[in-house]
Amino acid sequence: MRIKQPKTASVIDAFRSKTKLRASKRVEEFFGSESKDWDGFLHQARKKAFVKAVAADSRTDTKLRQHVDQMNRLATGKTVNLVQGSADKSYRIVRKRGGGLACTCPDWRYKKSVSTSSQACKHIRKHRSQMRTPMHFFQKELSAVLDSDG
């Protein structure tokens, strides 16, 4: 018995999960809107299904694919430090899934995430300089002793 291939999108969608359908719907809304909501876009990038839907869309260029992937790695990474920025704002320094550091500052999120330059944002540089201080090594040893006594 030969099975015919489905020809309509609704039949194809019947075999997709709800998560994938929602993700492709959000990608379609993003590309269809006149004014782009980048904060909402970055919030959606936390979900791996959305990242895959953006990558599969034919309207997506290489930089956008890379940016969405970096935002997903930022959202799913482990926070390693909280760095004080200007104007009483603090930014999280995150060890990304797959390696490397990322920052939640707008400079990193919008410029450095797709940059080929190896130069980090000022908050990551500040984090690295803090990690070289003798006080950091003392705190690391102290936390190791406290954890072992626990």
For residue 51, count CB atoms less than 10 angstroms from its CB and return exposed for 0-12, middle for 13-18, buried for 19 or more: buried
State pLDDT tens for residues 6-24.
455 554 555 567 888 888 8
| Judgement on whether residues 150 and 88 belong to the same structural domain of the protein | yes
| Judgement on whether residues 82 and 128 belong to the same structural domain of the protein | yes
State pLDDT tens for residues 50-109.
999 989 888 888 888 888 898 898 888 999 888 887 778 888 899 988 888 888 888 888
In whole angstroms, how large is the CA radius of gyration of the chain?
21
Domain housing 72: 15-76
| Judgement on whether residues 100 and 135 belong to the same structural domain of the protein | yes
| Judgement on whether residues 82 and 150 belong to the same structural domain of the protein | yes
Among 60, 76, 92, the domain-final residue is 76
| Judgement on whether residues 66 and 82 belong to the same structural domain of the protein | no
Its pTM surpasses 0.95: no
DSSP string over 69-110: HHHHHHHHSEEEEEEE-STT-EEEEEE-TTS-EEE-SHHHHH
- 38 belongs to a structural domain: yes
Count of the separate structural domains present in the chain: 2
Kindly tell me the sign of the dihedral angle through the C-alpha atoms of 147, 81, 135, 119: positive
